[in-house]
Chains A and B, each alone.
Chain A
Amino acid sequence: MLGFVMKRLSLAIPTVMIVVVVVFFLVRMFPGDPAQLLLKDQATPEALARLRHEMGLDQNVLVQFLSWLRHAASGDLGTSIVVGKPALPMALQAYGISLTIAIPSVILATLIAVPTGLIAAWKQNSLTDTALVGVATLLLSVPTFWSGLLILLLLGVTLNWFPVVGYVGLGEDPVRGALYLAMPILTLSLHEVGSLIRMARASSLEVLRLDYVTHARAKGASEGRVLAGHVLRNAFGPTWTLVGLIMGNLVGGIAIVETVFTIPGIGRLIVESIYQRDYPVVQACLLVVAVSYVLINMIVDLFYPLFDPRVARQ
């Protein structure tokens, strides 16, 4: 088990390193001169040259990268050009808000999708199965920016159950804060339910064909026992891996839901910073999301042996 953990950790470290390099060079390629952007209309040639020197922009790229890395290691990713605050805390705070949407929606989606996929597989080729797969494919095909608008229209504007515009932090007022989060969580989980049902169904089908399921049935175990004790446990592994991937994509694609529901999360922050050419903030956000994506997938893999102990022994 320890060996498995060490192996997975040793895989994650180089990936994080490469991600850091890619983010640095990606942001390097953004159009425009950072010094010019910082100085705006006060950019005399002398002031530009001085600032470029201070920022180290006149040195070669490798030196710049090493110096950036040294600052990054101590948590300094520069200051926002637009609001003048340190970029990393801005990104982290927005990321925290995004997680309050992403985590509940993944949990909700898993709770709905795994049993549904199992039932669809159990009733394979019946009307129930066809209907469930149909609904899943339909949910998968509806983009969040449309389902979000429809949910906003129905639950917000028409039924007036939830507030339509604005945001209150969970820390300020947990009850009102939760009301603001309800519609975005619903939107995201509806979308993820589609892919999770299909995955849970496919892996349940594979398990249902195995000998030990036939054996359990032959022993006279009830269908409920076979499904809960044998199939669910063994079919959950592959679905669990997908949960990790979804979690990463959720954070990437969350920009849309945050735009629809005006939530100040990290997706919204990236998009607005790209509009405003606030590159230090874009860079901090890209780094936070990419690194957390690697970490989330690592954590998902580390938990995998809980559902399938064979993995750790290999």
Chain B
Amino acid sequence: MKSMSLNAWLGLCIIGAVLLMALLAAVWTPYDPDALDYLAMMQPPSAAHLLGTDDFGRDILSRLMVAGRTSVLIAIATVSFAAVAGTIIGTISGYFRGTLDGIIMMLNSALLSFPGILLALGLVAIFGASASGTVVALGIAFVPAVVRVVRGNVLSLRELDYIAASRVMGNSSIYTMLRHLIPNSVAPIAVLATSMFGWALLSESALSFLGLGVQPPAPTWGNMLAQARPYLSQAVWMAIFPGLLISISLLGINLLGDALRDRLDPRMKGIR
């Protein structure tokens, strides 16, 4: 049990540091992240440029900070979108059951039968390669997972006495859902949201690495890596630092997500 909480703390610290960096980027970066400097192109890390410069002479640390803010904002927006839409659909579907539930679940399982990143690629083609396009595409791709979890939870809750009591007391369906069903779905949604935050961060980086996410010159960790690929042998730092940041952030989220799941999933109790 002790090592679990250690992992959770480590995860929290990592995520905290990344968030802090993203916040700091809003008010201060060492250099202007878009300022070109042709006299300092592809400089290795030094006192002047802590993490070196890229092929346009832009300061990599400054760009990483701004990119972090973009990635975190996109991930938060994506997860909120998926969580809100998925909770509404899942609650309605599980509460009313019947034909509506049947149709929703049929669509849902069809969407779940797509590999997530593939669905996101198709949706990006519709909504466009941009920050908002990424949020909507990834958000829609994540909704089915939330719907399934929330609906399952609501299905078991609605058989309980206090939900029946709420109905007998003459409360409207909407009141019952808002007052009883949704608050009792928060725990499983929170666990899912933590992993979804990681997926969102990863998928956003993947999309911008493929050139289908946020477009340059606006920096993201993914498009900075794509930009580094041709210069692997000349300027390795261009490829090292963005990848390191993505990996560390994902590690933090995975550690925290594992700890949360161990706590909230009784099946996992006793295992570690």
Contacts and interface: CB of A to CB of B under 8 A. Distances in A.
Is A bound to B? yes
A210 B236 CA distance: 51
A106 to B, nearest CB: 14
A22 B114 contact: yes
A15 B113 CA distance: 8
B209 A271 contact: no
Interface stretch (A65-73, A142-150, A230-238): A142-150
Contacts of B248: 141
B251 interface: yes
Q: Is the interface of B mostly helix, strand, loop or mixed?
A: helix
A31 interface: yes
A253 interface: yes
Given A22-B111, A141-B251, A270-B121, A249 B116 contact: yes
Contact of B251 (A15, A137, A153, A294): A137
Contacts of A21: 110
Contacts of A113: none
A22 B239 CA distance: 38
B212 A274 contact: yes
Contacts of A297: 113
A206 B121 contact: no
B88 interface: no
B202 A290 contact: no
B229 interface: yes
Contacts, number: 139
Interface string A7-22: 0000000010011011
Interface residues of B, number: 50
A44 interface: no
A30 interface: yes
Nearest to B243: A146
B228 interface: yes
Which range contains the number of A residues in contact with the other chain? 35 or more
A151 to B, nearest CB: 11
Interface string A102-131: 000000000000000000000011000010
Contacts of A259: 209-210, 226
A188 interface: no
Interface in B112-133: 113-118, 121-126, 128
Given A124-B272, A143-B247, A253-B206, A293 B232 contact: no
B60 interface: no
Contact of B243 (A150, A209, A286): A150
B126 A31 contact: yes
A5 to B, nearest CB: 19
Given A124-B272, A143-B202, A274 B125 contact: yes
Contact of A286 (B3, B110, B118, B255): B118
B94 interface: no
B106 interface: yes
A271 B255 CA distance: 32
Contact of A293 (B109, B115, B122, B128): B115
Nearest to A253: B117
Contacts of A206: 271
A157 B232 contact: yes
Contact of B210 (A31, A251, A255): A255
A91 interface: no
Contacts of A157: 232-233
A187 B239 CA distance: 16
A152 B270 CA distance: 41
A256 interface: yes
| Most A CB within 10 A of own CB, among B109, B116, B125 | B125
Contact of B229 (A29, A31, A142, A260): A260
Contacts of A31: 126, 128
A251 B125 CA distance: 18
Contact of A252 (B115, B202, B271): B115
Given A19-B113, A141-B251, A256 B243 contact: no
B258 interface: yes
B15 interface: no
A137 B121 contact: no
Contacts of A279: 125
Contacts of A271: 121, 210-212
A19 B232 contact: no
Interface in A58-91: none
A280 interface: no
23 contacts: A15-B113, A18-B110, A18-B113, A26-B126, A137-B254, A145-B205, A146-B247, A149-B239, A153-B232, A153-B236, A205-B271, A252-B114, A252-B117, A259-B226, A271-B121, A274-B125, A275-B211, A279-B125, A282-B122, A290-B115, A293-B113, A293-B114, A297-B113
Interface of B: 3, 106-107, 109-111, 113-118, 121-126, 128, 202, 205-206, 209-212, 222, 225-226, 228-229, 232-233, 236, 239, 242-244, 246-248, 250-251, 254-255, 258, 268, 270-272
Interface of A: 15, 18-19, 21-23, 26-27, 29-31, 124-125, 130, 137-138, 140-143, 145-146, 149-150, 152-153, 157, 202, 205-206, 209, 248-249, 251-253, 255-256, 259-260, 270-271, 274-275, 279, 282, 286, 289-290, 293-294, 297
